[in-house]
Each structure stands twice: as structure tokens, then as C-alpha cells.
Amino acid sequence: MKKVLIPTKLDKIAAELLTKHGGYTVVQDDKAATDEAVHALAKAHPDAYALIVRSEKVTPALIDALPALKVVIRAGAGFNTIDIKHARKKGIDVMNTPGANANGVAEEVVALMLADARHVIKADASCRAGAWEKKAFMGREVAGKTVGIVGLGAIGRLVAKRLAGFECRLLGYDPFVSPDLAAEEGVTLADLPTLFAESDYVTLHLPENEKTKGLVNADLLGKMKKGATLVNCARSGVIHEADLRAAKAEKGLRFLNDVYPKDAEGPKTVADVADIMLPHLGASTKEANYNAARRSAEQLIEFDDKGITSYIVNRDIPEGLDRAFADLAFRLTKLCRALAGADRPLKTIETSFYGTLRPFAGYMSVPVVAALDDTFDRAMAPGAAKNLLAERGIEYTDRETDERKGYKNSMTIDLTVDHGGGAMSRASVRGTVAEGNLMVSRIDDFDKLYFEPCGHIVAFTYRDRPGVIGQIGAALAGAGINIDDMRNPHDSKGEFSIAILKVNRGVPQEVVDRIATQIGAAAACSVTL
């Protein structure tokens, strides 16, 4: 019998399913609310095989206190409270249960919209106090409004479903979702400026990372309609708070919030700008707790009985694969995405792995998907990558390779993006590892590049003619940007050239656009790898 510890207030369905299976004995302590209590429980059960937690911290000390531990399951999506690297060192697999809480968050968004639109909170207090202020609480209807959904993952798509009955016009922004899938949910894809400008409500459903931190800033907030509503049930850092404060004062925006830098009691910095504040209640429903508990038990049983590893979030590089090639797949994909159009909806992914890389083609989907979606961690399993692509409606094809081409130990990444109206564009990048160095050998029809994909990169494709490189260099110098390396080959017909440059710092988009206009570029992009 394998012992499973559940030191948290989790629905009893997990213990029931595991006990019914017959291969587990379950120890659940609903009162182990502190780190000390969790450690005490671990000390009393050092033979535990599996640990199921909610928000409890799984530290190196806790892991070391459980020498028989082989599996940790986070009953929820995020796993930042678990030291996954230390777990991997100890040979412990860590899993999560993505999507279990999604409907709870989606319904909370709709609840906030309705509560604010009809002044539910203030009107309740007024009525309880004996007042009768019908005129003061004149509301508005959600039906027929335009709602912008930023992020069309599991939660964003459920928000769209829940709003379907209100006959709203739904706009969505998510470059990692196919237009066909968005259309199935009744969502029209749009760029961020358009979404913010046209929406009566904007609801955020994206992670907080280097790319998204402060994404909702003065520029986007300045495009919102007067009196429009911003809903944040995602992460606090995606909004530039000072810009929101200024925009709210200028435009009378409404702000409905459920997320903060820390989930803890105490003063909140957004108290003066939030029209409704909740204590991160998105996943706090009985149903979400039940779903997370059930899935935790089911995933443990499937892992042990069937070897299903789709939800493991701390997988290591497969034995026999040089880590440099996994890094190469990640960087080539990020470069290819920039070349194809970083904000264009992704349609298809096609890969080719040659030579000794061929046996690892299945695993390579992990760094490829991680390069395209910030919510996907490179430590996740290939099954998780496959599931995510299916959820987003993106076709992934790993092509059979012809070894007679001589591309030994190399890989090709091709991406197709949708420009709308049936227009598609495609970018293709090939690379390898030579003498321990990552190399881009080809971009589209520009061969023999031998360019290292790292650091700050800017690229321009243009009709070949003298003097263009001088113009690019002068423009970068004028912006205080130094060139560290450069390649400038022609295509096979000698009609076009590509200038791909490594520079000393990131190139602002306005500089890229200015150079592209100056040289009449057919394509231009910048990316940091």
C-alpha cells in the first residue's frame, strides 16, 4: 500500500477515490494550516509515497523530511509554492491540475461585471440602512456590450462561453490560439490597441512575467472608452498601477479587482482605485475544490497504473540528449515566431529533427511550445505540450526526415500565422550545434547564415541594393545602439537580402518601424533570446 499525505483542506473525493482504488492508504489532516503543522505531519509519516497540497509550501526541508516521497501533486494550476528543482534532484515528480479552477474564475468575472453594473454592493448596504435610493443606483446592462478578453486560455474561453447568453460582442487577444478555435467560441481576434479601444469591458487572463508585467499601461488605458470597465482576476503585476490611477481620474474608468502582489491581510495599494475588491476568491468555490481534488487522485492513479505523465511539471532533459539541442529548439522557435509575426495568431507548427535528434522528436515539442506560450514551462512533459496545442486549436506536425539531405544533428522549425481574410505567412528557421555553439544556419531562403541565436537581435528583409546596411547602421547608432555581430546574405535568386544583427541592447519597436520604413523593408522584427 502506498501512503498518500493530504495536509490541507481538500475535498474528501480525493481520499475516497484513492481508498476505493485499493492501492493507497490516505492520511488527510484538514487542520494542518501552518508550515509547522505540515512539517509535523510529515515527520509522523516519513514513509509517505505521495503528497497532495493546495497552497502549502513544499520546501527542500519538507521534501527531505519525506525520504520515500516520489510524487507531489498541486491541486490547482500554479506550482510556484513547490521547489520543483529540489524535487527533481530527489527523483520526485511534481504534477499540477490545470483547468480545475477555471470555471470558478470565469464565473467570478461575470459576477463582478453584473455586481458593478447594477450597484449590487452599495445598493444592498443602502437598503439595509433603511434608504430607498432607486435613482441613485441607476445601472446599466451587460447585454449587447463589447467585451475584450485578453488571453484565451481555459479561463478566457470559459468567460466567452458564460457571456454568450448576454449576446455580447466578444473580442479576444491571444497570439497562441488559432482564429478557427476563437471563432468557435464566438470570439473575434483583435490586436490589443483595437481591443482596448472598442471594448466596454476588458477582462485580463494572462500570466505575469517579463513580457506581461505592466502590459496594461498608459498607452492601452488611454485608448479605453470613457466609463469603460477593467476587470483583473489574473495577476496584479500586469497592470501599471500609477497609469491606471491617472486613466481612471481622466476617463472615469471602472476597476474590478481580485488579485494583489501577495495573498495576505493588510492594506492594498489599489484600494483607492478599485470599485470592487475581492480577496482572490476566483478559485474559492466548492466545485473548484472538488474538481481539483478529484483530478489529483485520478492523475496519481493514472500515473501509477498507466504511466501517464502529461501533467508532470518538473521533467528533466531525456537521457542521451544534449541539453544544448533543447535550448536550440527553444531559441529557434522564438526567433521564428518573431520573424513570422509575434502578434499574429498562430495556425500551424511544423518541425523536422535530423540525425541523432530524431529519437527525441517527441520530447522536442516541449521547448518548442514553451517558446511560444509563456504559460508553459520547459520542465513540463510532452503530453502537456500536446494537450495545450489541442486546446488552442494549433496543428503540430513533426515531419519524417530524409537523412540523405545531410542535415545531421540539425532541426528545422516552420510556423504559419494568420493575417486575417484568408491571408497566411510562413517563416522557416534551421539550426544546429557546432563545437558547443548554437547556430542558425538558414532563415527562409537565406542560407549559410551561421549566426548565434542569443542576446538582442533585429532583422530586416529588403530588396537587395547598395547602401542599405549603412542606413541600418546609422539609424541604430542614432538610437544609441551598437552592433555586435551581423550577417547579410542574399536569397537563392539574388533578389532579396536579410540583415540580421546582434546588438548591445533591445531595439524599441519605434526604431524598428522607422528603419523598416526608411529602407522599404519587406519584413522587420526584433527579439531577445
Is 190 within a domain? yes
Indicate whether 311 belongs to any domain: no
In a domain, residue 315? The reply is no
Instruction: Identify whether residues 134 and 92 lie together within a single domain.
Output: no
Rounded to whole angstroms, the Cα distance separating 469 from 297 reads 60
Say if residue 59 is exposed, middle or buried (CB neighbours under 10 Å; 0-12, 13-18, 19+): middle
Specify whether 96 is located in the same domain as 112: no
Q: Is residue 197 part of a domain?
A: yes
95 and 117 assigned to the same domain = no
Q: How many CB atoms lie within 10 A of CB 238?
A: 23
Domain count, the chain: 3
407 and 500 fall within a common domain: yes
Helix (H, G, I), strand (E, B) or coil at 98: coil
Residues 89 and 238 in one domain: no
Same domain, 403 and 467: yes
How confident is the model at residue 97, as a pLDDT? 93
Give me the pLDDT at residue 33, please: 66
488: CATH: 3.30.70.260
Q: What is the pLDDT of residue 209?
A: 84
Decide if 162 is inside a domain: yes
**Rounded distance, CA 396 to CA 373, Å?**
14
Contacts of 404 (CB under 8 A, 6+ apart): none
Q: Is 408 exposed, middle or buried (0-12, 13-18, 19+ CB in 10 A)?
A: exposed
Q: Is 314 within a domain?
A: no
Q: Are residues 59 and 131 in the same domain?
A: no
Look up residue 179 and give its amino acid. P
- 320 assigned to some structural domain: no
Q: Which residue has the cell 519584413?
A: 523
Neighbouring C-beta atoms of residue 356, cutoff 10 Å = 13
Q: Is residue 442 part of a domain?
A: yes
Give the structural domain span for 267: 102-277
Low-confidence residues in the chain, pLDDT < 50: none
* Pair 239, 382 in one domain: no
pLDDT of residue 142: 97
Set of cell numbers at residue 456: 538582442
Same domain, 293 and 362: no
| Residue 160 sits in the same domain as residue 170 | yes
Alpha carbons 398 and 412: distance in angstroms, whole number: 10
Check which CATH number belongs to the domain holding 94 and give it: 3.40.50.720
DSSP collapsed to 3 states, 241-268: HHHHHHHHHHHCCEEEECCCCCCCCCCC
Q: What would the grid cell of residue 219 be?
A: 498607452
| pLDDT given for residue 158 in this prediction | 96
Q: Please return the burial class of 404, using the count of CB atoms within 10 Å of its CB with bins 0-12, 13-18 and 19+.
A: exposed
250 and 109 belong to one structural domain: yes
Q: How many residues does the chain have?
A: 529
Q: Cell numbers of 107, please?
A: 464565473
Helices (H), 252-322: 286-306
Residues 13 and 162 occupy one common structural domain: no
